[in-house]
Amino acid sequence: MAEKELPMLLRDDNLSEETKKLISSLPTDKDAQGKLCKYQGCWYYYNTLQAVINFQENFQPQDTDIILASFPKAGTTWLKALSVALLERSKHDHDDPLNHPLLSDNPHGIVPFLEFDMYLKGSTPDQTKFPLSSPRLFSTHMPLHTIKENLKDSPCKIVYLCRNAKDALISRWFYRCKYQNKDAARSILESMFESFCSGVGFYGPIWDHALSYWKGSLENPKNVLFMRYEELKTEPSAQLKRLAEFLGCPFTEEEEENGLVEKILELCSLDNLSGLEVNKTGKTWTNVDYKSYFRKGEVGDWKNYLTPEMETKIDMIIDEKLKGSGLTF
Ligand code: PAP
């Protein structure tokens, strides 16, 4: 089957002279998808680095901004849906939610990524694609230390969703193969596994990524909430309430009695979202099928694909990297 053209974020054709100069001073590498460089401890494809720089040079926070952060494939789509549903709930009757934005658009079409949707093409975001409501909701895969300077002195809120590294890897393998119209071949997984363990990969290393937000949440719990995909699966109501409180829109007793917590969880469930027409047929403006953001949504699916040797290797690396931090995943 024919491969699609590489998406813009993986390419290297949108670089300013300053960024080219910067890249020449950075550690560089490449993987099967493109050239990577390590900036502020995190690996980016070159055009994505340009977007990160555009963000750093231009983004001005507003006090009420909310930023949903995650490592790729940690459950960003779910977190976006839940946050939109929480913030929109005053505007929509959940017994008759026909005009709810989540029913007519994918969460990625509602909550823009700072680096892909806002700053990939240039320094001034085209806001017509993403009319932002108040509070403004953004998402990012950048680590905390890379966005922190822009948010300095801002009371805006950041939610980080952490996911088991092995599940994030398997999810990314399927996503990448689907995107490239390839079968999920073992050889691709094996090469992605090696890069993942060496830390050289898009937004890697995963341990430094998670640690940046873990430390941020300990230092500044009012502004940084650390959540886990696995906890959202095992105790969804408690975690949704935790998110609502952090975002400053806790459930009222009446809402709880009316079953609103459960209604939001049902609205945002993988089964419900993936079954919507928009998510079966729609695409992002960068031409990614919305359906590729939904797969199994299970905890521990890695067990079906990684060998015991792979498991031991990745666990040992992550244990070693997180040692003493209080974080495990
Ligand atoms: P992104 O990084 O490209 O934005 P992201 O949404 O973080 O992708 O990750 C996709 C994963 O979240 C998929 O996991 P899987 O491959 O292990 O199945 C996807 O199935 C899962 N996911 C998407 N929506 C939901 C949801 N509503 N509930 C639970 N999991 C979900």
Ligand 1: does its nearest atom lie under 6 Å from the Cβ of 270?
yes
The answer to whether 158 and 67 have CB atoms below 8 angstroms apart is yes
Which residue owns the Cα nearest ligand 1 atom 9? 73
- Full domain range(s) for residue 83: 3-164+205-292
Burial class of residue 111 (count of CB atoms within 10 Å of its CB; 0-12, 13-18, 19+): buried
Ligand 1 centre distance from Cα of residue 77 (Å): 6
Residue 289 has phi, psi (to 5 degrees) of -65, 130
Are 170 and 305 a contacting pair, CB within 8 Å? yes
Distance (Å, rounded) from C-alpha 278 to C-alpha 174? 21
Dist. CA 22–CA 57, nearest whole Å: 14
E strand intervals along the chain: 28-30, 35-39, 42-45, 66-70, 137-140, 157-162, 224-228
User: Which residue type, as a one-letter code, is found at position 81?
Assistant: A
Contact by Cβ (8 Å): 161, 76: yes
What is the C-alpha separation between 151 and 193, in angstroms, rounded?
Answer: 34
List Cα–Cα distances, 294 to 73, 77, 273, 297, in angstroms.
10, 8, 8, 7
Residue 243 lies in a domain: yes
CA 215 to chain centre: 18
Is there a domain that residue 298 lies in? no
Separation between Cα atoms, residue 78 and residue 253, nearest integer Å: 25
Per DSSP, 250 falls in state P
Tell me which residue of 217, 77, 109, 207 sits closest to 160, measured CA to CA. Answer: 217
Ligand 1 binding pocket includes 117 (Cβ within 6 Å)? no
Q: Is the pTM of this model over 0.85?
A: yes
Residue 266 lies in a domain: yes
Could you give the number of structural domains in the chain?
Answer: 1
Cβ distance 80 to 139 under 8 Å? yes
Task: Give the active site residue among 108, 141, 145, 209.
Answer: 141
Residue 193 lies in a domain: no
Q: Which amino acid is at 316?
A: M
Whether 100 is catalytic: no
Ligand 1 within 6 A of 167 CB?
yes
Looking at residue 47, its pLDDT comes to: 96
- Whether 3 and 180 have beta carbons less than 8 Å apart is answered as yes
319 domain-assigned: no
Element (H, E) at 92: none
- What's the DSSP call for residue 116? I
CA 141 / ligand 1 centre spacing (Å): 14
Distance CA 28, CA 23 (A): 8
89: in domain: yes
The whole-angstrom separation of Cα 282 and Cα 262 is 27
**293 pocket-lining for ligand 1 (C-beta < 6 Å):** yes
Phi, psi of 138 (to 5 degrees): -125, 165
Which pLDDT does position 93 carry in this prediction? 63
CB 72 within 8 Å of CB 229: no
CATH number of the structural domain spanning residue 41: 3.40.50.300
Residue 283 Cα, ligand 1 centroid: separation in angstroms? 16
φ, ψ for residue 327, nearest 5 deg = -95, 135
Query: Quick check: is 87 in a domain?
Result: yes
The angle at the Cα of 34, spanning 329 to 111, to the nearest 5 degrees, equals 55
pLDDT at position 287, please?
85
CA of 296 to the centre of ligand 1 (A): 8
**What is the rounded distance in angstroms from the CA atom of residue 169 to the CA atom of residue 164?**
9
Residue 255 corresponds to which tokens in the numbers above? 């809402």
User: Residues in the chain with pLDDT < 50?
Assistant: 1-3
Whether 38 lines ligand 1, by a CB cut-off of 6 Å, is: no
Our mutation pick for probing the ligand 1 site, out of 10, 79, 203, 270, counting the most ligand atoms within 8 A of Cβ, is 270
pLDDT at residue 3, as a whole number: 43
> Is position 307 within any domain?
no
- Cβ(119)–Cβ(58) under 8 Å? yes
Read out DSSP for 260-285?
HHHHHHHHTSHHHHHHSHHHHH-B-T
Q: Does ligand 1 have an atom closer than 6 angstroms to the CB of 161?
A: no
